[in-house]
Amino acid sequence: MRSLPMRNVVATFYRRRHAVLSKTFHHDNTVETILRTYLSLGGQKSNEVKRRQDNWFLPYFLYRNSYSTGFTSVHGERPSAEYAKLRKESLEIKFGHVLGYYRFGPFLALYRAAIISFHVLKLTIWQFFVQDIKKRSIKFRETLISLGPFYIKLGQALSTRPDILPTVYCQELAKLQDQIPPFPTYVAMKSIESQLGFPVSRLFADISPEPIAAASLGQVYKAHLHTGELVAVKVQRPGMSLSLTLDALLFNMIGGQLKRFAKARKDLLVAVNEMVRHMFDEIDYILEAQNAERFASLYGNDQKSPKNTAGNTVEFKKRNGIKVPKIYWNLTRKAVLTMEWIDGIKLTDEGGLKKVCLNRRELIDQGLYCSLRQLLEVGFFHADPHPGNLVATGDGSLAYFDFGMMGDIPRHYRVGLIQVLVHFVNRDSLGLANDFLSLGFIPEGVDIQLVSDALKASFGDGTRQSQDFQGIMNQLYDVMYEFNFSLPPDYALVIRAAGITRRHCKSFGS
């Protein structure tokens, strides 16, 4: 049985549903099929929503008054400059507090500044000799890798910001991975003892001698509690708070040069400051644990199955819903997170899925449907759903991991996103341009007809080549860059989540 929120959201679009679904869809891929299925749910009208159907296009003032932060990356110098100033002051205060805990803090700051300045100087000299944008994008990616975890994370975030960087740079930065070696286990054990206040032997019956997984911000160990439960222990890389704070401050020194080299838009610094906020969220494991429990309460053990356009329920074999690891709060602190260990099979492991009689295509469809619920119905979504953070369990459930990067979009943005998706699926360029305008993505004074024409050109001529989803998205990114779009932070995370999902669906052959 459908939930009330689902009926309310879908009923809002009931009046346009038949017009949408009656059009011929020439773009038969998994994402659009699932999207059409989702949009066709909820045949019954809600009287309450029906009274609101006249408010189809949302007023622009909602865009300005409902941001997740008081100072956001919007068009206009004053709010952007004020936001950047406040973020810089906040970082300086935080940096002062952090330095108090490190005896050689000032020397570390000078040493780090020298390293960053050296790499940026090389980049500055290099730009005078190379004008090819592809080669410049490769050099830009390589420089970010050389600068370490903060800049790798920054590059990953910028790869989903076509409103800031040219498409070539976005594509190149999408190749960035957490290519950081794990830190020594004895350091991790000392961190666990420092955070939890007891020797490791008193906390765990046993713990793996080496990390099971490692990334730029931390690494994971497998352990048993004295009560017998199998758990995953996530330990933060030492000095991350100091490192992120210092690098974020120093970015204000080199941001202008990086902006010129990458031909970035004017609000690069503001966007980076917002990304820094998300990075600090990622190293707060208490917040991550809270996110996990919230995600579990919203989507865990979700028994609902989608219906296709004919009204038939699409059942998934052995479908037990969404699983989220249980949090052990007595063993969780700001830099140590202890959670239930869940054995699973990666969706990339087709052979492993076949052994337990699981259909990979159905699991992928199930994941896509859950993603659409997150983005369109509830608004609280996982912003980093790559294959390492999503596995199938033996009973057919999907288990999510790593809740450090989450997004939360308010209802009126979700309604706007549904409009965007409907117009995108139907290749309605004028409707899409008006959606972007109503959401505030387009700066004031831009000719909407010009945007519409550019969007129409990006859709192609209806040939097979023009129907390629990624090709269309790349051209849409070019339009965003050309017309100086400005994405609010939450929508930037939406693009990140949708891009990761689509990219891996394509790699799965869906």
What is the C-alpha to C-alpha distance for residues 235 and 214, in angstroms, rounded to an integer?
10
**8-state DSSP, 384:** -
CA distances from 52 to 145, 410, 415 (A): 50, 17, 12
Q: Kindly state whether residues 505 and 448 are assigned to the same domain.
A: yes
Work out the pLDDT band at 267, boundaries 50, 70, 90: low
CB 307 within 8 A of CB 314: yes
| pLDDT recorded at residue 411 | 86
pLDDT at 83: 46
Among 224, 259, 282, where does a domain finish?
282
Instruction: Looking at the structure, tell me whether residues 116 and 32 fall in a common domain.
Output: no
| Whole-angstrom distance, CA of residue 357 vs CA of residue 379 | 33
Least confident among 257-261, 356-360, 385-389, 506-510:
506-510
* 11 — pLDDT class (breaks 50, 70, 90): very low
Residue 8 within a domain: yes
Q: Is the dihedral of CA 193, 199, 204, 208 positive or negative?
A: positive
Strand partners, 398: 322, 392
153 and 21 in a common domain: no
Check whether residue 362 and residue 479 sit in a common domain: yes
Highest-pLDDT range among 14-18, 44-48, 171-175, 270-274: 171-175
Q: pLDDT band for position 290 (50/70/90)?
A: very high
Q: Do 300 and 449 fall into the same domain?
A: yes
Q: Do 22 and 116 belong to one domain?
A: no
Alpha-carbon separation of residue 42 from 5, 80, 162, 304, 315 (angstroms): 10, 41, 34, 13, 17
For the chain, the average pLDDT equals: 75
In-domain check, residue 229: no
What phi and psi, each to the nearest 5 degrees, are found at residue 471?
A: -65, -40
- Bigger pLDDT: 10 vs 150: 150
The Cα 213–Cα 15 span in angstroms is 49
User: In total, how many domains does the chain have?
Assistant: 2
The arithmetic mean of pLDDT across residues 486-508, rounded, is 73
Predicted pLDDT of residue 55? 35
402-416 average pLDDT score: 88
Residues 6 or more apart in contact with residue 476 via CB below 8 angstroms: 162, 455, 458
Q: Write down which residue in 229, 262, 282 finishes a domain.
A: 282
477 and 415 together in one domain: yes
pLDDT of residue 52: 35
Q: Are residues 381 and 508 both part of a single domain?
A: yes
* Residue 452: both structure tokens together: 């519409």
Mean pLDDT of 352-371: 86
Q: Based on the domain organization, do 261 and 121 belong to the same domain? A: yes
Could you report the per-residue pLDDT of 209-248, keeping only the tens digit for each?
999 998 888 999 999 999 999 999 999 999 888 888 888 8
Residue 209 within any structural domain of the chain = no
Q: Does an H or E element contain 483, and which?
A: none
Tokens 């929503």 belong to residue: 49
Are both 301 and 266 inside the same structural domain? no
Please determine, for residue 40, whether its predicted confidence score (pLDDT) is greater than 70.
Answer: no
Of residues 19 and 466, more confidently modeled: 466
The tens digit of pLDDT for each residue in 77-131 reads: 334 445 445 555 665 565 565 555 555 567 777 888 899 989 988 888 888 888 8
**pLDDT, position 96:** 60
48 lies in the same domain as 94 = no
Q: Can you give the pLDDT at residue 68?
A: 31
Say which range, 2-16, 58-72, 147-161, has the weakest mean pLDDT. 58-72
Is 185's pLDDT higher than 60?
yes
In a domain? residue 65: no
Domain that holds residue 451: 1-56+292-510
At residue 480, the pLDDT reads: 83
Residue with tokens 């689509």: 502
Note whether residue 218 is domain-resident. Answer: no
Determine, yes or no, domain membership for 228.
no
Which residues are marked as active site? 384
Report yes or no: 370 and 322 within 8 Å, Cβ to Cβ: yes
Give yes or no for a contact between 293 and 327, defined as CB atoms under 8 angstroms apart: yes
Same domain? For 273 and 324 the reply is no
Is residue 274 in some structural domain?
yes
Q: Among the ranges 63-67, 208-212, 303-307, which has the highest mean pLDDT value?
A: 208-212
Domain termination site, one of 250, 282, 314 = 282
Q: How confident is the model at residue 450 (pLDDT cuts 50, 70, 90)?
A: very high
Position 151 in a domain:
yes
